[in-house]
């Protein structure tokens, strides 16, 4: 079958899946569970003793009711668009924000924590929730599901759910390049090996808890983030930092080969790896082609320390753009809702096979 025929078949299948979902009114999968860092965090950090929070304005400016929920964005994250596509009428809640769990977990939950990463030390540095601790919370949620749905239905939810995992940016930008205990001991390539090993362990542990449909995002073009360009690029540069992008490319190669091996050794594992490196690189290098006018400066802030809420005092008044949809970046590390929508459209097409 030629490429065009295969692509046409794929889109027909996609339309059929969405059409069936709209007719019966049920989500495409019984639940959606999310693990990772600030790209996916919807408020788990709100009540933690960490400086990495987004539960204050102008975060959430363009979200429902203009409320800052803890999302590092002006509006929706990629996972919000993914949840909508899967047919859920409400977003998966931040697990730590649930005062009453029970039925609130029937459609899944979000365990992601800003400042986290595959490497345990990343979360420790910022007092965030490590990926291992996120797994412990997931175990707790399984017990809650057993109580509310019964063992048989709970197992059906667990085995049929989609699990999304996204981390790695914090391991490199917030940990390795900021931590002399790592930077002076390991080369980027050596540290990549360590992080990929942590990734493999996480997937195996998640699999052991019943996950069979797992979607993993690659490391994005971290050399193109405004914070990276400011910290590691030449003075007044608008270009991506090539050496750091190369670290991401190398890491993603290892992530891919490791994922291939995991599929071989874990029976019935449907593991899909989604490339988020190229989509961001495309937006940054050719923003006008995709409907954006600004890809170097973020929507709000006056300098790196103020635009990145990891360091910013929430009471500091900063510059705020009028229309975030023209910008690729909301702050110096995170995309706008408009960029997230672009990413989601790309990733949904790549990840649709996991729901079958």
Model confidence band, residue 315 (pLDDT cutoffs 50, 70, 90): low
Q: Reply yes or no on whether the pLDDT at 247 is more than 80.
A: yes
31 DSSP β-pair partners = none
Is 305 or 49 the better-scoring residue by pLDDT? 49
Q: What is the CA radius of gyration of the chain?
A: 20
Architecture of domain 27-355: 3-Layer(aba) Sandwich (3.40)
The total number of residues written for the chain in this structure: 356
- pTM over 0.85, yes/no: yes
Per domain, the residue ranges of the chain are 27-355
> Pairing state of beta strands 32-36 and 108-110?
parallel
pLDDT score at 220: 97
Would residue 334 show up in a list of annotated catalytic residues for this protein?
yes
Q: What is the pLDDT of residue 356?
A: 67
Find the catalytic residue in 37, 80, 171, 331.
331
pLDDT tens, position by position, 118-154: 999 999 999 999 999 999 999 999 999 999 999 999 9
Instruction: Report the pLDDT value the prediction gives residue 353, as an integer from 0 to 100.
Output: 76
> Exactly one of 119, 259, 298, 334 is catalytic; which is it?
334
pLDDT at 168: 97
**Active-site position among 37, 38, 62, 332:** 38
Catalytic, 38? Answer yes
> CA 139 → CA 91, 116, 345, distances in Å?
20, 19, 31
326 vs 310, higher pLDDT? 326
Which segments of the chain are extended strands (E)? Answer: 32-36, 108-110, 162-166, 213-217, 270-274
Catalytic status, residue 331 = yes
Q: At what angle do helices 151-160 and 131-149 cross, to 10 degrees?
A: 140
């Amino acid at each position: 079958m030629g490429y065009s025929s295969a692509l046409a078949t794929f889109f027909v299948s996609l339309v059929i899946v969405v059409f069936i979902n709209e007719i019966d009114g049920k989500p495409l999968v019984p639940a959606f569970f999310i693990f990772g860092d600030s790209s996916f965090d919807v408020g788990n950090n709100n009540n933690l003793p960490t400086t990495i929070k987004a539960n204050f304005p102008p975060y959430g400016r363009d979200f429902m009711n203009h409320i800052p929920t803890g999302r590092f964005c002006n509006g929706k994250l990629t996972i919000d668009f993914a949840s909508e596509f899967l047919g859920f009428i409400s977003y998966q809640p931040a697990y730590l924000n649930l005062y009453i769990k029970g039925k609130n977990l029937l459609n899944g939950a979000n365990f992601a924590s800003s400042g986290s990463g595959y490497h345990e030390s990343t979360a420790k540095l910022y007092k965030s929730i490590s990926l291992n601790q996120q797994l412990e919370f997931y175990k707790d949620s399984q017990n809650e599901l057993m109580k509310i749905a019964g063992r048989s239905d709970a197992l059906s939810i667990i085995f049929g759910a989609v699990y999304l995992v996204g981390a790695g940016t914090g391991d490199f930008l917030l940990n390795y390049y900021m931590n002399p205990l790592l930077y002076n001991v390991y080369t980027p390539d050596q540290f990549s090996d360590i992080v990929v090993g942590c990734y493999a362990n996480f997937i195996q542990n998640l699999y052991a808890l019943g996950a069979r449909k797992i979607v993993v995002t690659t490391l994005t073009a971290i050399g193109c983030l405004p914070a990276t360009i400011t910290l590691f690029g030449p003075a007044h540069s608008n270009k991506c930092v090539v050496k750091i992008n190369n670290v991401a490319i190398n890491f993603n190669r290892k992530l891919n080969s490791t994922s291939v091996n995991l599929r071989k050794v874990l029976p019935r594992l449907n593991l899909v790896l989604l490339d988020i490196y190229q989509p961001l690189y495309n937006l940054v290098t050719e923003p006008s082609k995709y409907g954006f006018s600004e890809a170097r400066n973020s929507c709000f802030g006056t300098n790196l320390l103020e635009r990145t809420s990891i360091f910013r005092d929430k009471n500091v008044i900063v510059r705020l753009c009028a229309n975030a949809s023209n910008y690729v970046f909301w702050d110096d590390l995170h995309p706008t809702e408009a960029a997230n929508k672009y990413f989601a459209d790309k990733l949904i097409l790549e990840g649709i096979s996991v729901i079958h």
